[in-house]
Amino acid sequence: MLAWAARTMARPSGMLKPVALRKLTGRYLAHQQELPALPVPPLQQTLDHYLLALQPIISEEELSHTRALVEEFRKPGGVGERLQKGLERRARKQENWLSDWWLKTAYLEYRLPVVVHSSPGVVLPKQDFQDRQGQLRFAAKLIEGALDFKTMIDNETLPVEYLGGKPLCMNQYYQILSSCRIPGPKRDSVVNYARGKKPPTHITVVHNFQFFELDVYASDGTPLTTDQIFIQLEKIWNTSLQTNKEPIGILTTNHRNSWAHAYNNLIKDKTNKESVRSIEKSIFTVCLDAPIPRVSDDIYRSRVAAQMLHGGGSRWNSGNRWFDKTLQFIVAEDGSCGLVYEHAPAEGPPIVALLDHVVEYTKKPELVRTPMVPLPMPKKLRFNITPEIKDDIEKAKRNLNIMVQDLDITAVVFHHFGKNFPKSQKISPDAFIQIALQLAYYRMYKEACATYESASLRMFRLGRTDTIRSASVDSLKFTKAMDDTGKPDPEKAELLRRATQAHRAYTDMAITGNAIDRHLLGLKLQAIQDLVSMPELFMDTAYAVAMHFNLSTSQVPAKTDCVMCFGPVVPDGYGVCYNPMADHINFAISAFNSCAETNAARMAHYLQKALLDMRQLLQENPKSKL
């Protein structure tokens, strides 16, 4: 039993409290104890790297102003050193000096709706069923596959993952099932029921906006079989044929403060409270969606990506979700399927590992047909809708439909090459893709922008992410040179190689805990905690520019040929997620329609062109053998 996990996860605030690890046992814990603690990088190093990171994105004039602020901040005995000491003290006391702060800042205190602004989606390859039978059979297999993965979590038999030869923190796997975000007036929380006294044995199934509690374990504790689950799903389907139900789940799409207010109002009623608790406790959710409108093959993926992110609006499937639920599988009647997940408890890779397992599972032939024992009717979760709740639903619908209209998303398969080409050139594939993004952006806007790429900090205990700043001095040198007819091609190729090396070097710095973003955040939060006045460094325009990520990107590799997606993080930005496979790359690019300067399809076009041009440049200008 994961005693440590039980204690930390039961805390309703979702915050992780340090507990003496010594007393604990278990395979998972033994592994966790071996992991190093996240270091606090040296102050002077971070400040030097900060100035370097600013170079490609701000003017020389702004830079000299910021240089002066940095000099002031870094002086011996100055405010920087004082805050750094505070951080180092925190690092000695806590299991991970960053994780509580990150959880709060990036998620629990972030007030925008989780839909589009925070929760990522995954689009699975289209399944070849065309009807309800096929839909329910696939959903039943998927549920069984997910329960199979859960067994590995429960038994602590999940294989430890590695990055760059180093073992990774596995804690996030213990956070993704039986958990849910709960809205709060100023700050949300995450509850996890997996390690409680009586862990849940049910999932939530939603159909036609109606929620059901489906027990997926038999009385002897074994998981139901595909056939049994299928029969139960049919019962659910047949008792939820009405399509005129209030889409109560829409409430979870609202701004967090509004939702927190509506939530307190909703759960005043005892029946509503029980229904909400059942959803929150459930192992995960399965959304049986209505078919999405038929579209041509070339925009099919983009359409499904939008469905996964927001459900298509109040008239389509958005009411068929509980967006606060950590994990929601989506299976639509027309064969489109995927998932959406609430980001606070975990990063993409554990979710994708689960998904890879589930997809493999669904491909297995069904072997045994179990003799049918009568199973109880799944419980319908009832809601009493007062006029006030109805009003909250209407408001949420209006806001959601605006968000749905505003999301511009393009999912494409770049089929000319995948990881194999950059590898053949002895270049990091991830760096190659990131530099292509820089080239695409430069060609569109004639400047570089602050660019975020997620880097895993899971080499450290309870590590989440730091930022790889992909816009670098070297990337800008290359992107400026690429279309400069005065520059010889061999020089351009050399600049490209150098830019990819710089990117890979930043990646190594980030995954070993030496990047600048989380350290700067830590210094800023330390200043707030110590109640010293905010250092000017953090009130500087350059700092705001550096944190305004017009390109927010992430690589999430998967075995399954799927595409992941998320929204932009600024009103005038792009969200770019990619899954590089051996011979092709799956991309999803998002933007907002309300911003005249951005266009997802245009960015996708420029990105593909950049990848092709860069390949040609390298092929025509091979590296000298000297």
Cβ 181 vs Cβ 342: under 8 Å: yes
Asked if 428 touches ligand COA (CB under 6 A), the answer is yes
Residue 343 designated active-site: yes
Asked if 526 touches ligand HC5 (CB under 6 A), the answer is no
Burial class (CB in 10 A: 0-12, 13-18, 19+), 201: middle
Range 403-422, binding ligand COA (CB under 6 A): 419
Asked if 586 touches ligand HC5 (CB under 6 A), the answer is no
Q: Which stretch binds ligand COA (CB under 6 A): 265-273, 307-315, 342-350, 356-364?
A: 342-350
Among 347, 392, 408, 540, binds ligand COA (CB under 6 A): 347
Asked if 456 touches ligand HC5 (CB under 6 A), the answer is no
Asked if 526 touches ligand COA (CB under 6 A), the answer is no
Nearest to 69 by CA among 537, 539, 545: 537
Residue 303 binding result from ligand HC5, ligand COA, none, given CB thresholds of 5 to 8 Å by partner type: none
Q: How far apart are CA 551 and CA 573, in angstroms?
A: 6
Q: Which stretch binds ligand COA (CB under 6 A): 401-409, 410-418, 426-434, 474-482?
A: 426-434
Residue 122 binding result from ligand HC5, ligand COA, none, given CB thresholds of 5 to 8 Å by partner type: ligand HC5
Nearest-Å Rg of the Cα atoms of the chain is 25
Nearest to 88 by CA among 533, 519, 528: 519
Residue 137 binding result from ligand HC5, ligand COA, none, given CB thresholds of 5 to 8 Å by partner type: none
Cβ 553 vs Cβ 452: under 8 Å: yes
Residue 2 binding result from ligand COA, ligand HC5, none, given CB thresholds of 5 to 8 Å by partner type: none
- Collect all residues with Cβ–Cβ distance below 8 Å to 238 and sequence separation of at least 6: none
Q: Which is nearer to ligand HC5, 172 or 475 (CB)?
A: 172
Residues β-bridged to residue 577:
554, 588
What b-and-e string marks burial along 68-98, b requiring 16 or more CB atoms within 10 Å of the CB?
A: ebbeebbeeeebbeebbebbeebbeebbbbb
Among 124, 216, 331, 351, binds ligand HC5 (CB under 6 A): 351
Binding mask 546-565 for ligand HC5 (x = CB under 6 A): ------x-x-x-------x-
Residue 31 dihedral angles phi and psi, to the nearest 5°: -65, -45
Q: How far apart are CA 23 and CA 266, in angstroms?
A: 42
Site for ligand COA (CB under 6 A): how many residues? Answer: 21
Q: How far is the CB of 485 from ligand COA (least distance, A)?
A: 29
DSSP string, 169-234: --GGGGGSSSEEEE--SS--EEEE-TTSSS---EEEEEETTEEEEEE-B-TTSPBPPHHHHHHHHH
Residue 569 binding result from ligand HC5, ligand COA, none, given CB thresholds of 5 to 8 Å by partner type: ligand HC5
Q: How far is the CB of 166 from ligand COA (least distance, A)?
A: 11
Q: How far is the CB of 108 from ligand COA (least distance, A)?
A: 16
Among 507, 526, 586, 599, binds ligand COA (CB under 6 A): 507
Q: Which of 117, 343, 357, 519 is catalytic?
A: 343
Residue 349 binding result from ligand HC5, ligand COA, none, given CB thresholds of 5 to 8 Å by partner type: ligand COA
Among 192, 302, 317, 454, binds ligand COA (CB under 6 A): 454
Among 556, 581, 607, 618, binds ligand COA (CB under 6 A): 556
Cβ 602 vs Cβ 427: under 8 Å: no
Residue type, 58: I
Among 66, 454, 472, 550, binds ligand HC5 (CB under 6 A): 454
Q: How far apart are CA 241 and CA 197, in angstroms?
A: 36
Residue 419 binding result from ligand HC5, ligand COA, none, given CB thresholds of 5 to 8 Å by partner type: ligand COA
Asked if 122 touches ligand HC5 (CB under 6 A), the answer is yes
Q: How far apart are CA 115 and CA 31, in angstroms?
A: 35
Q: How far apart are CA 515 and CA 376, in angstroms?
A: 54
Q: How far apart are CA 70 and CA 51, in angstroms?
A: 8
- The length of the chain in residues reads 626
Sites of contact with ligand COA (CB under 6 A)? 163, 347-349, 419, 423, 426-430, 454-456, 465, 504, 507, 511, 554-556
Active site residues: 343
Sites of contact with ligand HC5 (CB under 6 A)? 120, 122, 347-348, 351-352, 452, 454, 464-465, 552, 554, 556, 564, 566, 569, 577
